[in-house]
Chain A
């Protein structure tokens, strides 16, 4: 199934300026691994070298936080949108 990954403006330069990417994946984890293969520079901004999503990055499936679903094992269906968002943090 194909889902869309929405790219925040600050990371679009890591994937040729794309605002969104179509990815074939059945789970969020599989979607991230697809990004790792196709857009490794983008992936490194989202996940660290252990595969963990960076502390100040939030992922949403449609309007749901991942932690409200099943984390990286959240299942995806065609037409879902995976949003990559910088968290509200700073100082």
Chain B
């Protein structure tokens, strides 16, 4: 019986694993694993007996994939990390996403420079997915501040949604054989054309298994007052699609900023969506007052959730993969900050507490009930 909550916390200095009872009162912390090495992606694979995965982005000796079969008490490197084929000319710079694939052993991995890899043996060997990795647009994508990264992988049967910064949203409807840029309504503020075919700086995309046509996107906003070429682009930062990502429209009205990195959906209600707005110039909490914002009607109205959080003087950033939600009946949200704090928002974000306040800068947080 699943009765433990496990968190994977990827930081600048390695991976931490936190474990607590379903009541989520206290969590025991283990780690760091891959000590001293940055972790940008983690996965809790619950399809069979739980396996934990993490990328380990070793600046000295290259990328590794870590795997644990004992709920994060120890980790070992898999036999291989993704590698570009000989003659491709690109070299792996980072691993940004790890997700489950189509069958019980498949894994998908998004990397920098933006490409997708697939493993059919739990990460011991990897094969590049050419449909996106060698896409005709790929040589025109440009790196954002985090590098040219494929950071979001969402699967829905034969559909695969990818988020690339800066490439935009790409959709496959044939299981990953071919991909099409699907960015109608997704704006960009850093090119003259406000709505290019591709090249947007998508920060994160989230969906829900019960509403597969519905997607939410945190895009690179903050262009409402731009008065350069192309003119202002208000509200392009927080978007929704109701047609599997083919067209998008703004749901940013009512937020203090349409800039931010993460976006998450309630596990039991696709109408409930969460964002963490950030001030566009600093990428930090607006006015130094952190808050998660929740919409309960798919982005029509937003409510500020900050009970338990500092009321002033907080200037952290929550990165694209550092917000998650568990799947218990009354779910808790978790977010990690660039200042090394891990926060829990119990009762769907109504009450916030700091679980750990002095971790290294946090890149990603994943939660699962095991």
**Chain B hits for A54, CB < 8 A:** 60-62
Interface residues of B in 47-67 (CB under 8 A from A): 59-62
**Chain B hits for A46, CB < 8 A:** 61
Interface residues on A, range: 10 to 19
A49-B92 Cα distance, complex, nearest whole Å: 8
By the criterion CB–CB under 8 Å, are A45 and B61 in contact? Answer: yes
By the criterion CB–CB under 8 Å, are B60 and A48 in contact? Answer: no
Interface residues on B, range: 10 to 19
Instruction: Tell me how many residue pairs across A and B have CB atoms closer than 8 Å.
Output: 39
How far in angstroms is the closest Cβ of chain A from B57? 12
The binding surface of chain B is classed by DSSP as loop
Binary contact readout A50-91 vs B (1 if CB under 8 angstroms, 0 otherwise): 101011110000000000000000000000000000110110
Partner of B59, one of A48, A52, A56: A56
Minimum CB distance partner of A13 in chain B: B77
By the criterion CB–CB under 8 Å, are A11 and B59 in contact? Answer: no
Partner of A50, one of B59, B61, B91: B91
A2-B117 Cα distance, complex, nearest whole Å: 39
The binding surface of chain A is classed by DSSP as loop
**Chain B hits for A55, CB < 8 A:** 59
**Chain A hits for B227, CB < 8 A:** none
Minimum CB distance partner of B81 in chain A: A44
User: Which residue among A49, A50, A54 has the maximum number of chain B CB atoms within 10 Å of its CB?
Assistant: A49
B228 within 8 A of A: no
By the criterion CB–CB under 8 Å, are A48 and B61 in contact? Answer: no
**Chain A hits for B91, CB < 8 A:** 48-50, 52
Given contacts A49-B86, A49-B88, A50-B90, contact A87 B62 (CB under 8 A): no
**A residues in contact (CB < 8 Å) with B:** 10-11, 44-46, 48-50, 52, 54-57, 86-87, 89-90
